[in-house]
Amino acid sequence: MIGTKLKLGLCIFLFPFLTLAQSQRGDLVRIMVSPTRGDMKYDVGEEISFDVAVYKYGQLLPGAEVSYSIGPEKLEPVEEGTITLDEGTISLKGAVLEQPGFVRCHVTYQEGGNTYHNSGTAAVDPENIQPTTTDPDDFDEFWQGQMDALREVDLDPVITLMPDKCTAETNAYHVSYRNLSGHIYGILTVPKKPGKYPAILQVPGAGVRPYHGSFYDQDVICLQVGIHGVPVNFYDSDLYDNLRNGPLDGYWKANLDNRDEYYYKRVYLGCTRAVDFIYGLPEFDGENLGVMGGSQGGALSIITAGMDDRIDYLVSYYPALCDLTGYLHDRAGGWPHLFRDEFTNTDAKVETSHYYDVVNFARRVNAEGFYSFGYNDNVCPPTSIYAAYNTIKAAKEISLFPDSAHWTYPEQREEGNDWILEKLGVH
Q: Would you call 295 a catalytic residue per the annotation? A: yes
What is the C-alpha radius of gyration for the chain, rounded to an integer number of angstroms? 23
According to the 3-state scheme, what is the secondary structure of 304-329?
A: HHHHCCCCCEEEEECCCCCCHHHHHH
377 tagged catalytic: yes
Q: Is 69 a catalytic residue?
A: no
Domains of the chain with bracketed CATH: 9-125 (2.60.40.1930), 139-423 (3.40.50.1820)
Catalytic pick among 106, 174, 337, 406: 406
Q: Which residues contact 176 (CB under 8 A, 6 or more apart)?
A: 157, 158, 183, 184, 185, 186, 231
What distance in Å separates the CA atoms of residue 111 and residue 104, rounded to the nearest whole number?
23
Q: What is the pLDDT of residue 341?
A: 84
Q: Evaluate whether 101 touches 326 at the Cβ level (below 8 Å).
A: no
- DSSP-based helix, strand, coil % in the chain, nearest 5: 25, 30, 45
Predicted local distance difference test score (pLDDT) of residue 10: 44
CA–CA dist 123, 365 (Å, integer):
25
d(CA 274, CA 268): 10
pLDDT given for residue 6 in this prediction? 46
What would the pLDDT profile of 170-227 be if each residue is shown by its tens digit?
999 999 999 999 999 999 999 999 999 999 999 999 999 999 999 999 999 999 999 9
- Residue of 288, 300, 407, 424 whose CA lies nearest to 362: 300
Question: pLDDT value at position 343?
Answer: 80
Q: Is 251 helix (H, G, I), strand (E, B) or coil?
A: helix
The active-site residue out of 295, 353, 384, 404 is 295
* Residue 282 CB burial class (10 angstroms; 0-12, 13-18, ≥19): exposed
DSSP per position, 160-197? EE-GGG--SSEEEEEEEEE-SSSEEEEEEEEESSSS-E
Which residues in the chain land under pLDDT 50?
1-21, 23-24
Write the single-letter amino acid at 147.
M
For residues 262 and 253, give the distance between their C-alpha atoms in angstroms, rounded to a whole number.
8
Catalytic residue, candidates 106, 377, 403, 404: 377
- pTM of the predicted model, to two decimals? 0.92
Q: Which pLDDT does position 25 carry in this prediction?
A: 54
- Strand 170-178 and strand 313-317: the pairing is unpaired
